Amino acid sequence: MTALTQSQFFQQLKKYYTFYTGGFIAFVIVLAILEQMGLPAKWVGYIFLAATIALYAGIGIMSKTADVSEYYVAGRRVPAIFNGMATGADWMSAASFIGMAGTLYLAGYDGLAFVLGWTGGYVLVALFLAPYLRKFGQFTIPDFLGARYNGNLPRTIGVIAAIICSFTYVVAQIYGVGIITARLTGLEFQIGVFVGLAGILVCSFLGGMRAVTWTQVAQYIILIIAYMIPVVWLSVSHTGNPVPQVAYGQVLQQVTQLEKDFNNADTTKGAAEASARAAFKAQQESFEAKIAALDEAVAAGTGAAFLEAQRAEAGNPADFPATTDDLKASWKKSADGAKAKTGPVSAHATAFAGKGAEANLLKTNPNATEAEIAAARAEDQEASNIKRRNFIALVLCLMVGTASLPHILMRYYTTPSVREARKSVFWSLLFIFLLYFTAPALAVLVKFEVYNNLVGSSFASLPAWVANWAAVDATLMKIVDINMDGIVQLAEITLGGDLIVLATPEIAGLPYVVSGMVAAGGLAAALSTADGLLLTIANALSHDVYYKMIDPKASTVRRLAISKGLLLVVALFAAYTASLKPGDILFLVGAAFSLAASAFFPALVLGVFWKRANYTGAVVGMLAGLGVCMYYMYITYPFFGGVAANQWFSIAPIAAGVFGMPVGFLGIIIGSLVTKAPSAEIQQLVDHVRYPSLEGDIRTQAA
């Protein structure tokens, strides 16, 4: 293929992927026909899993390479539009594909921080990084830090930061792969993790960046088709409009009206909700009374007897809590669960709602004085301000983190030129945008289905999708008739966020083959991101640590062998970590963004835009930024023993980067100004990256 010109290459790619897309659609249609003819759902799942992983493996084998430049940067001839698709797949993880719509369903406007943060960051990539990194043109992000700040220390800090953020992220992806594989085929989670791992490895192991790139393009096509078809179908069946992104404006108004009805006890629906909430309130109080009794018994020294009595009363179930502490925790959980159901429905489109102190006060005490009302109002205002502050901080961290994650930045090394790199950022965001502006529409459409059709239906004849999911997984769908009226109320439904995307095909009345396709799409999203991340980690170790610092004379064969060996080790270690099911994966992903934003962004941007930035500044700034960010997480996040009382300005630990980043900038500026300016060669390097082409230019591009 090397003999082809860039435009012939582009035409050929276009042909291949058009053919491939048609093939995928034909494959789905054939499966649909087979399903109609009686192929069991389980087999549809198996076939999807086997076919897609075989496909990725096939592309991986076809793209195997022993060339360094092909292995690290796909030969630097990936056309802008294809690099855009690959970046899209690289970027959109299981969390985007499956989790995002669920977050939006549950949090409404406040969940949009993720939509904004994960798209707006590309503006920063385009304006500050992609073209300049492409001109610099080496293999990794620490490469740039090492060259620009002229030393192994900045490179080493870069390597460490790249590994910290990529590793936490890749564990979350492999975890997602395990969950989806388990759901698709009924295999055990741990086995699912390792099946998925095989799919990741066979591709990146053989062909490095080259194989990963072409697989990611294929994965993007699958994931976007899988996401769009059920949403469009749902939109047509509910609104008659095939463009859900336009149609859901009207639906949102209906949802808003229903929310008002639910919260107004004078309407029929509102009265039914009020009765369900009252029943939950009673349940909450009964658990609280039990906890009080337990505490009393423990204080009196009769805790063990109390526990035994409770066990006997419950009929000696095998899973009864073993200690009084466990019993208390379990009751506390039940009380909190019931309490969550006692409040009014929150409005989907409302930004930064207060905590309802004023409404609550007026309800419990209609004769409240002016001063009391004013105090309640101030309390609401304060709660709303804190929400807004956190929203802004989170958006900023996610954006800057997007523009700092090495696995994304690395993709812009693979385009043929600076021109193409700029265009490629546009294509990247366009392809990402397609999914991200559909997710809020999906959330609203499903919400309407739940509010309008599920609520008010009878428990004797629940819609099929509700009954199915409630039977499969209680964490995703739980429904209880607490006030015993035989009718479903909103307060009686407990939805897990991941349900939204997974159940959409069934809600829209599509056959199982579409559910299989959605799961395959989620798998594509998780695998593609995991591929990119693993490659980043392995490259940082093999290229930056081994080749650049330990053995600069290593032969090509040796460099690639080391890189592949490390890839295997890192992948196995990540899969092992994921199979332990570490808690709170979402926090880890969020933390990766804050860490990347604090460590990389200031050093990368000032490296291009401020010639005066030097070695000392970079070392001080990166360490200080990373340090502050980690310190803040340490003192505020419960997992590390931190407490919320330590928060600065009530900012949640996930947005720690909002402190780390400015400290990083300050560190570089101060550190640079108190030491002497960088050498003439370094200043020349800065000019070199600023201009796509200069006469008599130096050359930094690696092979």
Partner 1 sequence: MQLSERHEEYWRKNLRITAILLAIWFVATFVVIYFAPQLNNIVILGFPFAFYMGAQGSLIIYVLIIWFYARRMNKLDTEYGVHEGEE
Pick the closer one to partner 1 by CB: 352 or 573. Answer: 352
Among 4, 25, 127, 467, binds partner 1 (CB under 8 A): 127
Is residue 636 near partner 1 by the rule CB under 8 A? no
In whole angstroms, how far apart are CA 146 and each of 152, 154, 156? 6, 6, 8
Pick the closer one to partner 1 by CB: 443 or 578. Answer: 443
112-124 vs 439-448: helix crossing angle, rounded to 10 = 170
Single-letter residue type at 240 = G
Q: Provide, rounded to whole angstroms, the least separation between the CB of residue 125 and partner 1.
A: 8
Among 53, 85, 126, 623, binds partner 1 (CB under 8 A): 126
Q: Tokens representing 537?
A: 């980690």
Q: Provide, rounded to whole angstroms, the least separation between the CB of residue 533 and partner 1.
A: 24
- Report how far residue 703's alpha carbon sits from residue 138's, in angstroms, rounded to the nearest whole number: 8
Q: Provide, rounded to whole angstroms, the least separation between the CB of residue 104 and partner 1.
A: 8
Pick the closer one to partner 1 by CB: 441 or 628. Answer: 441
Residue 39 CA, distance from chain mean position? 34
In the region spanning residues 594 to 633, those forming contacts with partner 1, defined by CB under 8 A, are none
Stretch of 52-60, 115-123, 145-153, 674-682 contacting partner 1, by CB under 8 A? 115-123
Q: Provide, rounded to whole angstroms, the least separation between the CB of residue 107 and partner 1.
A: 12
Q: H-type helices in 454-511, by residue range?
A: 464-472, 499-507
Is residue 260 near partner 1 by the rule CB under 8 A? no
Pick the closer one to partner 1 by CB: 300 or 351. Answer: 351
Q: Provide, rounded to whole angstroms, the least separation between the CB of residue 690 and partner 1.
A: 6
Q: Provide, rounded to whole angstroms, the least separation between the CB of residue 75 and partner 1.
A: 12
DSSP H/E element including 484: none
Among 437, 640, 648, 649, binds partner 1 (CB under 8 A): 437
Q: Tokens representing 421?
A: 């790199």
Binding residues for partner 1, rule CB under 8 A, total 57
Q: Tokens representing 245?
A: 């992104």
Pick the closer one to partner 1 by CB: 99 or 199. Answer: 99
Q: Provide, rounded to whole angstroms, the least separation between the CB of residue 428 and partner 1.
A: 9
Q: Is 21 helix (H, G, I), strand (E, B) or coil?
A: helix
Is residue 436 near partner 1 by the rule CB under 8 A? yes
- Report how far residue 297's alpha carbon sits from residue 662's, in angstroms, rounded to the nearest whole number: 52
In whole angstroms, how far apart are CA 382 and each of 110, 378, 456, 659? 16, 6, 36, 21
Q: Provide, rounded to whole angstroms, the least separation between the CB of residue 249 and partner 1.
A: 3
Pick the closer one to partner 1 by CB: 78 or 335. Answer: 78
In the region spanning residues 404 to 433, those forming contacts with partner 1, defined by CB under 8 A, are 416-419, 422-423, 425-426, 429-430, 433
Among 21, 241, 342, 384, binds partner 1 (CB under 8 A): 384
Is residue 669 near partner 1 by the rule CB under 8 A? no
**Other beta carbons within 10 Å of 578:** 27
Is residue 120 near partner 1 by the rule CB under 8 A? yes
- Report how far residue 199's alpha carbon sits from residue 192's, in angstroms, rounded to the nearest whole number: 11
Stretch of 65-73, 182-190, 225-233, 349-357 contacting partner 1, by CB under 8 A? 349-357
Among 305, 309, 322, 349, binds partner 1 (CB under 8 A): 349
Is residue 690 near partner 1 by the rule CB under 8 A? yes
Pick the closer one to partner 1 by CB: 33 or 246. Answer: 246
- Report how far residue 547's alpha carbon sits from residue 438's, in angstroms, rounded to the nearest whole number: 44
Pick the closer one to partner 1 by CB: 114 or 546. Answer: 114
Sequence-distant contacts of 18-25: CB under 8 A, at least 24 apart: 20/218, 20/221, 21/221, 21/225, 24/221, 24/222, 24/225, 25/225
Is residue 122 near partner 1 by the rule CB under 8 A? yes
Q: Tokens representing 349?
A: 């489109």
Among 395, 530, 685, 689, binds partner 1 (CB under 8 A): 395
Is residue 245 near partner 1 by the rule CB under 8 A? yes
In the region spanning residues 47 to 76, those forming contacts with partner 1, defined by CB under 8 A, are none
Pick the closer one to partner 1 by CB: 80 or 218. Answer: 80
Residue 513 CA, distance from chain mean position? 25
Is residue 221 near partner 1 by the rule CB under 8 A? no
Q: Provide, rounded to whole angstroms, the least separation between the CB of residue 245 and partner 1.
A: 7
Name the DSSP class of 152: H
- Report how far residue 273's alpha carbon sits from residue 584's, in angstroms, rounded to the nearest whole number: 32
Q: Provide, rounded to whole angstroms, the least separation between the CB of residue 384 and partner 1.
A: 7
Phi, psi angles (nearest 5°) of residue 393 = -65, -40
Q: Provide, rounded to whole angstroms, the least separation between the CB of residue 271 and partner 1.
A: 27
Is residue 250 near partner 1 by the rule CB under 8 A? yes
Among 87, 119, 263, 402, binds partner 1 (CB under 8 A): 119
Is residue 649 near partner 1 by the rule CB under 8 A? no
Q: H-type helices in 240-369, by residue range?
A: 244-263, 268-299, 303-313, 324-339, 357-364
Nearest Cα to Cα of residue 25 among 650, 513, 372:
513
Phi, psi angles (nearest 5°) of residue 367 = -100, 25
Is residue 6 near partner 1 by the rule CB under 8 A? yes
Sign of CA dihedral 214, 217, 221, 224: positive
Is residue 249 near partner 1 by the rule CB under 8 A? yes
Pick the closer one to partner 1 by CB: 126 or 628. Answer: 126
41-62 vs 512-539: helix crossing angle, rounded to 10 = 30
Is residue 691 near partner 1 by the rule CB under 8 A? yes
Is residue 253 near partner 1 by the rule CB under 8 A? yes
Is residue 392 near partner 1 by the rule CB under 8 A? yes
In whole angstroms, how far apart are CA 62 and each of 208, 231, 498, 622? 12, 34, 35, 40
In whole angstroms, how far apart are CA 112 and each of 102, 178, 445? 11, 27, 16
**Other beta carbons within 10 Å of 396:** 21
Single-letter residue type at 329 = A
Q: Tokens representing 623?
A: 């360490």
**Other beta carbons within 10 Å of 591:** 26
Is residue 106 near partner 1 by the rule CB under 8 A? no
Stretch of 124-132, 198-206, 275-283, 568-576 contacting partner 1, by CB under 8 A? 124-132
> Longest C-alpha distance within the chain, in Å?
88
Q: Which positions touch partner 1 (CB under 8 A)?
A: 6, 77, 109, 112, 115-116, 119-120, 122-123, 126-128, 131, 245-246, 249-253, 349-352, 384, 388, 391-392, 395-396, 399, 416-419, 422-423, 425-426, 429-430, 433, 436-437, 440-441, 684, 687, 690-697
